[in-house]
Structure 1
Amino acid sequence: MAHETTIPLLPCRSLDDVAPFYQALGFRVGHRQARPNPYLALHREDLHLHFFGMPKFDPATSYGSCLVLVDDLVAIHRDFAAGMRAAYGKVLVSGLPRMTRPRARKNQDGLSGFSIVDPGGNWIRFVARTAPPADDGPTGRLARTLENAVVQADSRGDHRQAARILDAALSRPDTADDPLVHVEALVYRAELALVLDEPAAARELLERAGAVPLSEDGRERLAATLRHAADLAATSG
């Protein structure tokens, strides 16, 4: 057989929650009905997502998830971020809905990915179709701990465990040995603080990240991370 098409069918409490969120990300409504069963069909180019309404559904307990393989992970994340800024005034990084930023996942053979957690609590996991060329990136203890934290939080959804292992690593005296990884770890820990509803902790972590001395080359290499830090600062108040 050939030319099969698989479309995820995901739960939500209300179509009125889901539709505006995805429309802000550039999706269009292909079909919507209220009776006999609430149903919503959305599409963005070749990406199709369908939803069914369950009035008593609790998004916090959702196990809904799907993988989306894409050729240009950075471009689609950039488009989603722009849509969020236009609709909500900021990139949503905590609560429901929210979006993570692209990061390499060691539990996905190094492929980079990011996730959208939508108003129904569904994890839409975007993954690069191919891995970037191998490089000689950081391999120290803090870098390895950061990789583990990303797996715990971005893949498994265990933000508190990710925070614990990062806190232990950031408390060690050798943390500042690699300033680039130090900033990455602090900014990611601030993101976790916001997801855990700890805005004061997030602000303190972002201040620590901003105080790490960086060369001009280091700032260029961390440009995406520093932009993300600015988004986090706007969210933390």
Structure 2
Amino acid sequence: MANEMTIPLLPCRSVDDVAPFYQALGFEVTYRQERPNPYVTLRREDLHLHFFGMPQFDPADSYGSCLVLVDDLVDIHSAFADGMRATYGKVLVSGVPRMTRPRPRRNQEGHFGFSIVDPGGNWIRFVGRATPPETDDRGGLARTLHNAVVQGDSRGNPAQAARILDGALGRPDPDDDPAVRVEALVYRAELALQLDEPESARELVRQARSIPLDDGARDALADTLRHAEDLIAGLPPA
């Protein structure tokens, strides 16, 4: 068979919650009804998402999820981030809704991905199309960071991810790549915001800024360092 299409139908408390959120990400509303049941359809290029409203629905109890395979993972994440900045004044990294960053998935060899948790509590998981697996030989902290990402970004367990990282960050290894330590600290700051620990997030970003980097490493970490600034941009002055 050819030319088939699968479109996920996902729950939400109100279509008035999900529609503006996805419009901020560049989606357009292609259909909407209030009766007999609330329903809205959204489209961004070839990506279609449909939502049905359930007034008594609790997003915290949602198991809604879908995978989106894309060729331009970094570009689509950047477009979503720009939309959030334009609409909300920052990239949403904690609470519901929120968005994670593109990171390698240790439990999905060869894949990078990020997730959107929308106002209905649904996990929209964006995954780059398969690439040859690469072995990260940058030391134990890099492996620990990958394990933490599995817990925090894939399984939605920021507390466990934080515990994993805290153990490694508390035992510095002189052989660890400074760039990896910056990545780990920034991710730990993101987890701190998800755990409602804003002052910890601010301190972790300060530590990440203080690590000496050569020009090559700083260029390679440009996205990570910008993300660090996004994390604390919405915090009240210290």
Task: Provide Cα deviations, 1:80-118, integer angstroms capped at 9, x if missing partner.
Answer: 011111111111111111101101111111311000000
SS of 2:234's equivalent in the other structure is: helix
* Counterpart-to-counterpart distance in 2, 1:13 and 1:176: 49
1:65 Cα deviation after fit:
0.3
1:136 Cα deviation after fit:
6.2
Task: Provide Cα deviations, 1:173-232, integer angstroms capped at 9, x if missing partner.
Answer: 316732111100000000000011110110011111111111111101111110111111
* Cα RMSD (Å): 1.4
Matched, 1:198 2:197: yes
Alignment correspondent of 2:22? 22
Alignment correspondent of 1:172? 171
Aligned runs of 1:59-74 on 2, under 5 Å?
59-74=59-74
Task: Provide Cα deviations, 1:114-157, integer angstroms capped at 9, x if missing partner.
Answer: 000000000000000132x6656443111110000000111010
2:98 maps to a residue whose letter is R
SS of 2:186's equivalent in the other structure is: helix
Aligned runs of 1:213-228 on 2, under 5 Å?
213-228=212-227
* Conservation of the 8 A alpha-carbon contact between 1:97 and 1:121: yes
* Counterpart-to-counterpart distance in 1, 2:135 and 2:35: 56
Alignment correspondent of 2:104? 104
- Unmatched 5+ stretches in structure 1: none
Alignment correspondent of 1:163? 162
1:35 maps to a residue whose letter is R
- Unmatched 5+ stretches in structure 2: none
Matched, 1:13 2:32: no
Task: Provide Cα deviations, 1:152-181, integer angstroms capped at 9, x if missing partner.
Answer: 111010110000010011000316732111
* Counterpart-to-counterpart distance in 2, 1:227 and 1:110: 25
1:173 maps to a residue whose letter is P
Alignment correspondent of 2:119? 119
Alignment correspondent of 2:86? 86
Deviation beyond 3 Å, 4+ runs, structure 1: 133-139
2:97 maps to a residue whose letter is P
TM-score (norm 2): 0.95
* Conservation of the 8 A alpha-carbon contact between 1:175 and 1:182: no
* Counterpart-to-counterpart distance in 1, 2:162 and 2:50: 33
* Counterpart-to-counterpart distance in 1, 2:35 and 2:99: 31
* Counterpart-to-counterpart distance in 2, 1:58 and 1:153: 21
2:157 maps to a residue whose letter is D
1:149 maps to a residue whose letter is A
Would you say how many aligned residue pairs link Structure 1 and Structure 2?
Answer: 236
* Counterpart-to-counterpart distance in 1, 2:122 and 2:174: 35
2:163 maps to a residue whose letter is R
1:233 Cα deviation after fit:
1.5
> Structure 1 pair 63/135, CA: closer, same or farther in 2 (3 Å)?
closer
TM-score (norm 1): 0.96
Alignment correspondent of 1:130? 130
* Conservation of the 8 A alpha-carbon contact between 1:202 and 1:236: no
